[in-house]
Amino acid sequence: MSKTPLGFDELDLAAPLVKAVAELGYESPLPIQAACIPPLLEGRDVLGLAQTGTGKTAAFALPLMSRIDLKNRAPQVLVLTPTRELALQVAEAFQKYARHLPGFHVLPIYGGQSYGVQFSQLRRGPHVIVGTPGRIQDHLDKGTLNLSGVSCVVLDEADEMLRMGFVDEVEAIISKAPEDRQMALFSATMPPQIRRISKRYLKDPTEVRIEARTTTAENIEQVYLVVPNAAKFEALARILETESYDGILIFSRTRIGTTELTERLAARGFDVAALNGEMDQKARERTVKRLKTGKVDIVVATDVAARGLDVERISLVINYDIPGDSEAYIHRIGRTGRVGRYGKAILFANPRERRLLQSIERATRQPLKRMDMPSHDAVTKKRVEKFRDRLSEMMAKEQLEFFQELSFELMEELHVDILQLAAGALCYAQKDRPLQAEQTRDLRSPRWDEPRQAGRERGPARGRPVKNMTLYRLDVGSGDGVEVRNIVGAIANETGLRSKFIGQIRIHPDYSTVELPDDLPRNMIEHLKNTYVGHKPLKIAPVGHGTPFHAGGPDDQGPKPKKVKSRKPVGPKKKKAKKAAGKSKGGKDKGKPKPKKKS
């Protein structure tokens, strides 16, 4: 059994590189580095199966740099990455390791950057090129890039390149490199197409398998919060106010979602920026730099835009939209807790996303802990603590004599005591951002197993609380294959409204009606308008206001905007009621034939 190296100085790396990693604080090689560096130094091919954040960049960069001929001003190493962000990250790592290699030049090449800049940099003769397949292929087609001197090709995050449709470009690029070149392929998963590429292009590779970091990553605290979609933003705002963090990354499913969420958070006073594919490259690089330097604390990003993002100060990742698969989740939380640092990941899930949550737990091989919604009082307490700290800091630095004299003057002029004056001053000081959290509706997180009642029609169950109800029209009906249970589930899941507060539901061929509480917030109604049941949006709209909670009957033919009387009594009293209904205005009974007169 081979001895596990205790330090980088035992791996036969070039002395300038050993010195550089020591200055960077690398004490001993990580498992993937200890396994990959020796065969790559020997010139052998390597097939590495490892998640992002395991230290694989150093695993291939350090041995390949040890073999670079600095006098040869031509590309000797080519690294292909799926995204611009990862290309920049890898190039930055090469540059850090080369701090004691005079004349070393690494060039990142990616789409969105000016061709003119890249042409001039290529003419300088870089030793290492790190790029995305599309732009590398463009330069090969233009004849501005020559791979004839490349001794090693690295495919980083090959499965992601496959997912993004770059396989043809990757194979075309490999074919332009010398046949005797060395290869290293790194992938988090090994789908059949990646396995085929490895068999075709790698020669007797050393296979290195590193267990998914999330299976043993005790340094990342993973929790989830069950929250209806309509209440997600309020939940996010509460978490941001009560959690302690340095830098934070929030994941949204869409580009539009990143922009909208950024604008709403900025309106709440948070220091936030967006990161998505619609931004030009300079803007994206500027945002990442601001996050790294602490000029912005919160970034809202899409999966692709955050791919390869490595910022040490990210201590919290929030999955605002649950990822569609477990692999995406693993890559998301990999942005925090990197290489042993502490991190926290919070996942938002609505009750209908239970299966996605379970698949994530299976993939990470550990259950996620359920967290409670921060309460109104917790938000207020946190605001007061921050205000107290700022006040204490200010009082320690500022000269307060003038304000002390002013306080006595104001007490006399306003006829108040010192406590009243202090309270008034505090109230005035916090007017732009109240210290007391705003009272909002109950945002309790529903449980997965909350009972729901379903049926063709439904009315108030015995013992249900009576509330003033409004009748709404829904743009779905039996002709769309919709049943009462579908409508109940959609409303309960999207608003967090408990099923016992959902009133009468009637299904008609082309529309339906439902009774909901009068005090349901307007933003919830707006959210329900675009909520889909089956393949159609509800397009919910009020029919009448102030409708009391009622049961109705099967002979009801449609919406009733006015108030509805309570149900008629049943049993013996019902017969008397019918008999009374048959009497004429004059009091005669029209429901029975007149008796014959006796002769």
Within this chain, do residues 134 and 251 fall inside the same structural domain, yes or no? no
Which candidate, 205, 206, 580, 270, places its Cα nearest to that of 433? 270
Domain count, the chain: 4
Contacts of 453 (CB under 8 A, 6+ apart): 461, 488, 499
Residues in the chain: 599
Which candidate, 341, 344, 338, 279, places its Cα nearest to that of 309? 338
pLDDT of residue 575: 45
Residue with tokens 């770059």: 166
The answer to whether 332 and 319 have CB atoms below 8 angstroms apart is yes
* 91 CB neighbour count, 10 Å cutoff: 23
Within this chain, do residues 200 and 240 fall inside the same structural domain, yes or no? no
pLDDT of residue 163: 78
The two tokens of residue 524 are: 């919830």
Within this chain, do residues 78 and 164 fall inside the same structural domain, yes or no? yes
pLDDT of residue 140: 95
What distances in angstroms separate CA 261 from CA 233, 253, 258, 344, one per listed residue? 8, 11, 5, 21
Of the three residues 180, 210, 240, the one that is the final residue of a domain is 210
Identify any residues that bridge with 515 across adjacent strands, giving them in sequence order: 471
Within this chain, do residues 273 and 389 fall inside the same structural domain, yes or no? no
In a domain, 440, yes or no: no
DSSP state of 440: -
DSSP secondary structure, 465-501, as one string: PP-EEEEEEES--GGGT--HHHHHHHHHHHH---GGG
- For residue 194, the enclosing domain spans 8-210
Element (H, E) at 425: helix 418-429
Within this chain, do residues 164 and 272 fall inside the same structural domain, yes or no? no
Distance, CA of 243 to CA of 373 (rounded, Å): 11
In a domain, 590, yes or no: no
pLDDT of residue 80: 96
Within this chain, do residues 254 and 364 fall inside the same structural domain, yes or no? yes
The answer to whether 361 and 396 have CB atoms below 8 angstroms apart is no
DSSP secondary structure, 73-88, as one string: -S--EEEE-SSHHHHH
The answer to whether 153 and 203 have CB atoms below 8 angstroms apart is no
Within this chain, do residues 74 and 206 fall inside the same structural domain, yes or no? yes
pLDDT of residue 5: 56
Which candidate, 51, 61, 36, 82, places its Cα nearest to that of 338? 51
DSSP state of 594: P
Segments in 294-417 forming alpha helices (H): 326-333, 354-364, 376-397, 401-414
Of the three residues 168, 195, 210, the one that is the final residue of a domain is 210
- Residue by residue, pLDDT tens for the chain (599 residues) are 445 556 888 899 999 999 998 888 777 788 889 999 999 999 999 999 876 656 789 999 999 999 999 999 999 999 999 888 788 889 989 999 999 999 999 999 998 788 888 999 999 999 999 999 999 999 999 999 999 999 999 999 898 888 788 888 999 999 999 999 999 999 888 888 888 889 999 999 999 987 654 443 567 889 999 888 888 898 898 888 888 788 899 999 888 889 889 998 988 888 899 998 778 878 888 898 899 888 999 999 988 777 767 788 888 999 999 886 676 788 788 888 766 678 899 999 887 777 778 878 877 777 888 988 777 677 677 777 777 777 777 777 777 788 888 888 888 888 888 888 787 777 777 766 666 666 554 454 444 334 333 333 444 433 444 457 889 999 988 888 888 888 887 887 777 777 778 888 999 888 899 988 887 777 788 888 878 786 788 889 888 544 333 333 333 333 343 333 333 444 444 444 444 445 444 444 444 455 554 44
Contacts of 52 (CB under 8 A, 6+ apart): 157, 188, 308, 330, 331, 334
Distance, CA of 9 to CA of 21 (rounded, Å): 10
Distance, CA of 545 to CA of 4 (rounded, Å): 75
In a domain, 444, yes or no: no
Within this chain, do residues 137 and 30 fall inside the same structural domain, yes or no? yes
Which candidate, 293, 295, 351, 291, places its Cα nearest to that of 317? 291
Contacts of 200 (CB under 8 A, 6+ apart): none
Within this chain, do residues 121 and 219 fall inside the same structural domain, yes or no? no
Identify any residues that bridge with 345 across adjacent strands, giving them in sequence order: 222, 317
Distance, CA of 34 to CA of 27 (rounded, Å): 12
The two tokens of residue 408 are: 């006595």
Within this chain, do residues 126 and 274 fall inside the same structural domain, yes or no? no
Of the three residues 210, 242, 265, the one that is the final residue of a domain is 210
Which candidate, 244, 245, 276, 282, places its Cα nearest to that of 259? 276
Distance, CA of 486 to CA of 484 (rounded, Å): 5
Question: 482 burial class (0-12, 13-18, 19+ CB within 10 angstroms)?
Answer: buried
Q: What CATH number corresponds to the domain at position 346?
A: 3.40.50.300
Distance, CA of 560 to CA of 472 (rounded, Å): 10
pLDDT of residue 211: 65
The answer to whether 122 and 145 have CB atoms below 8 angstroms apart is yes
Within this chain, do residues 202 and 59 fall inside the same structural domain, yes or no? yes
Where residue 144 falls (left for φ over 0; alpha for ψ -120 to 50; beta otherwise) is alpha
In a domain, 597, yes or no: no
Distance, CA of 520 to CA of 470 (rounded, Å): 9
- Specify the 3-state DSSP secondary structure of 522: helix
